[in-house]
Amino acid sequence: MPTTLVFKFLAAVIFNFVISVHTLEVDLTVDVKPGHEECFYEEIKKPTSFEIEYQVIDGGDLDINFMVTSPHGRIMVSELMKSDAVHKLDAVDLGVYKVCFDNSFSHFARKLVFFEIIAGDDEEDEDDDKKDWKAAQEELASIVDMTLEDFKKLLDNVNNNLDKARSDQQVLRNFEARDRNTQENNFQRVNFLSGVQVFIMLSVALTQVLLIRSLFDDRKKTGVSAQGRARGRGVRSVVPVWTWPGGVVPYEIPEDFDEPSKALIKVAMKRWERQTCVRFVPRSEHAQSEAYIKLYKSRNSCFSDIGRNPTQQPQLLGLSDGCMGIPSIVHELGHALGMIHPMSRDDRDQYITLRAENINNGSDRNFMSISDRGYMYFTYGVPYDYKSIMHYNAKIWSKNGNDTMVTVAPEFQTIIGTAADVSFRDNLYINRAYLCSWQCPWMRCENGGVASGTPCRCVCPDGYHGNYCEKRLPGVNRIVDWTCRTGWFYRAGTCYRFLSHATVPWKTAHDLCQQNSGQLPVITDTELMRITGELILEDRELSTAKTFWLGLQLNTTSGLYTWADGSELKHPEWIVNPGELSSDRACAVFNGTAITVTSCGLQPDNGVLCVAPFDPSCGGVFYLTNRGVEVTSPNYPDLHPPDITCQYVFKISGNNRIEITFKDFLLEYSNNCQSDSLEVQLETDVSIPGKRYCGSELTNTTLVSKGNFTIVTLRTDARNHGRGFQLTANPVQSRARSISDHFMNIPISFWKKLFEVPGRFGLG
């Protein structure tokens, strides 16, 4: 047979083969509106396999929900918020398959989705095709030296390669379209956000101009009212409180202060720096600093300007000998940063009541509100803080020893003015005033914590701790005063005490801590490592101790370092010299930044730091509803701890009262209960001291409050412990007024007129 004839025959066979292959292909681009779902249906008439590919090429975050359902309702594929995918499925069930694109999770963005469905062979008469292929194969075999099956495989490869090339080209086109749409959307967003930012900047600038202009243009109007209120009191006209640029406060300490005083000042500065972004920098290290604070050794007073004073440089911060304590210095530095006394806030009448009859003559100016003093002061949304380091005590400037301030919340009457450190709301105020959180935009704190500091970390409210304030302490909704017993100070759920700076061996230090109901520090995580390190570095400024014992020893049995509570050291990288010593008496010391293993004997320049868990059973606020509550003293029925003050406040709503029943009561007896005592406050005025009880005089005794709250305060010393008390507080509902009560309230004049006998001339 001629060669031309052979090629004509092969062309006919190839054409018939291509025609005989029926491949189902569907490609569409669908616009899915926000909040809607778009579905497509494809009928499969015989068992086969098919491939589904989709891409989100425009809209929102380029994501869509995708689902494929079989004719019998079986979900074959389900994906949430994806941008593209390829799925190969076996269509075993015959019928209509459902393909859906769901954009219901989006409320604004519409999605443009390209998808393609490719199904397998869909021949109607398979037997006839097989016969045709067999005949064609026999005919071709008689002409050429190649079977039709070989041609079929060759054509299959060519067909598959062509389909794959076409599919890849379509995918590339879709990617290009998606990238182009993304660039256009980003361009539009950048333009929009730039316009918004320009508008905000112009608005802020205009507001500042109008504000400053009002301060000067309306000087007579605003100054007259301020000066009229404060005439004769020396109050200046309205001025704003200025902050320090960048939170950097240059300072200078003259040589009038000795080295211990300088150390106290630096520690007080660290208290503000610890959880805020402000930094106190020596003036010598701050180039060209025109504004700075110069500490001044005053004779008999402590004072500071409020914030930065641009009209007086350097501005003085006075400290007398009576102010050379860390809380007092922290207080004055708070003024220099821009804080005022909480009782000077314009909203203070909602939180405290002033007792003018108890205030010294001439001291009333100290209770003037900040606006009456002529200052423009912003609270930045920070609530009133009873526990602020800036708050004075209840008897300040009293002429007769009685309270000059009474808190609206009775549980805080004994707390105001007792702060020894910066409170959470103090930190919150400084962080907001100096925009500290703007430096940590990536950090998210839980439970009301605020991101701040250098480096960034979460500042946690009372009752919470952890790297992100995620850890809740027991009694978080009940404890008011997070303070430890006498001689100890509180940090993040733990009480600490620097017991001794004497050089003692590890065993002696361990025994001393146990005798004081504590133990040597056990550091299990990075938070405890940081807190313990801060405390040690602070104490190193104030004492000769350079290192402190830890409750960490080498276990000779296991060859591992273990803590005093029996747990193993989980962070061996914390030890800087783990392999230098192998003695069975190897112990650890901490210098605030690194742990070093050394001998357990006497160590030069070493101190003792003890820790103890905070006791949530000591005090709290209890809100009574329909049921009573039972409260026991710490360690009951065992002996109560020494040197504790536990205040229990019971409150009830409305005009109801509270009934306190003591089931058991035993404290050390002394004249006038001067040693251990339980003070019970039943009056509605919290400034009136309660009655003190000791011995066993309250056993099986019931007391009833005169208002809707009562306060029970346990105070113990270090001698002759008792088992404490067990009490039950029950609500006493106000009873409905009886008819006789109404009759008793009728005026006597009414009864006289009602029963008066008429005279000769009528009624008298």
- From CA 384, how far away is CA 579, in angstroms rounded? 54
Question: How far is the CA of 533 from the CAs of 62, 139, 550, in angstroms?
Answer: 48, 93, 12
Question: How far is the CA of 206 from the CAs of 61, 210, 245, in angstroms?
Answer: 36, 6, 21
CB 110 within 8 A of CB 38: no
Q: Active site includes 332? A: yes
- Specify the amino acid at residue 683: E
What Rg, from alpha-carbon coordinates, does the chain have?
Answer: 41
Pairing of strands 375-376, 239-240: parallel
CB 411 within 8 A of CB 358: no
- From CA 748, how far away is CA 741, in angstroms rounded? 14
- From CA 691, how far away is CA 660, in angstroms rounded? 14
- Edge-to-edge order in the sheet of strand 111-121: 23-32, 111-121, 48-58, 84-91
328, exposed or middle or buried, with CB in 10 Å at 0-12, 13-18, 19+? middle
Query: DSSP assignment, residue 737?
Result: P
Query: DSSP assignment, residue 759?
Result: B
Pairing of strands 677-681, 629-632: unpaired
Closest CA to 365 of 214, 209, 232: 232
How would you classify residue 81: left for phi > 0, otherwise alpha for psi between -120 and 50, otherwise beta? left
563, exposed or middle or buried, with CB in 10 Å at 0-12, 13-18, 19+? buried
How would you classify residue 120: left for phi > 0, otherwise alpha for psi between -120 and 50, otherwise beta? beta
Catalytic residue among 37, 51, 123, 332: 332
Residue 720's contacts (CB-CB under 8 Å, 6 or more residues apart) are 668, 675, 676
Q: Which three-class secondary structure state does DSSP give residue 458?
A: strand
Closest CA to 114 of 37, 173, 49: 173
- From CA 446, how far away is CA 428, in angstroms rounded? 14
CB 300 within 8 A of CB 322: yes
Report, as residue numbers or ranges, the catalytic residues: 332
